Amino acid sequence: MKTKQEVIQDAYGDAWECLKGHVDDNGFVTALREDPTGDTHPLKHGFPLAEIQMKHFLDSFDWRPNSIRDIERNNGWIRVEDKLPDDQSRVTAFLSDRFKLRSAENLTFYFVDQDLFIYRYSHWKLVEEIKPPVY
């Protein structure tokens, strides 16, 4: 599995070498609004405005490719190396790279089985209780 930095680098493709000094930890680049030919403007690097995520400010905007949208939350997945679930939590766990078939499994995490969990899974997230409709 790739690191966060590798995923960000891949999202920028050929533009990475020009932009790497301007990319923050979550893949955003700042561009000046009044300078569409500036070194950090997405159009200069072949990114159509429809294919990027933008945060607007008064004189500038931050942008990143849509492919890394939500990278700061990793789509809700938590790496096993970063944190383990609480004991007896219901989780969905993603099989690690050791296994040919990468899939997710629903299970209950028990602290006594943490070594097996760390070996078998790379990521996890809590199973969210599905709430009934209000009306």
Residues 60 and 106 in one domain: no
Number of other CB atoms surrounding residue 95 within 10 Å = 16
Two tokens, residue 135: 């009306």
In a domain, 87, yes or no: yes
Residues 83 and 64 in one domain: no
| pLDDT at residue 132, rounded to an integer | 84
Residues 58 and 87 in one domain: no
In a domain, 134, yes or no: no
In a domain, 132, yes or no: no
| pLDDT at residue 126, rounded to an integer | 93
Q: Which residues pair with 31 in a beta bridge?
A: 61
Share above pLDDT 90 across residues of the chain, in percent, rounded to a whole number = 68
Its domain, for residue 108, covers 77-126
CA gap 105, 7 in Å, rounded: 24
pTM beyond 0.85? no
Mean pLDDT rounded to a whole number for the chain? 91
pLDDT in tens, 51-87: 999 999 999 999 999 999 999 999 899 999 999 999 9
Residues 10 and 36 in one domain: yes
| pLDDT at residue 10, rounded to an integer | 97
In a domain, 66, yes or no: yes
CA gap 105, 92 in Å, rounded: 5
pLDDT band (50, 70, 90) for residue 37 = confident
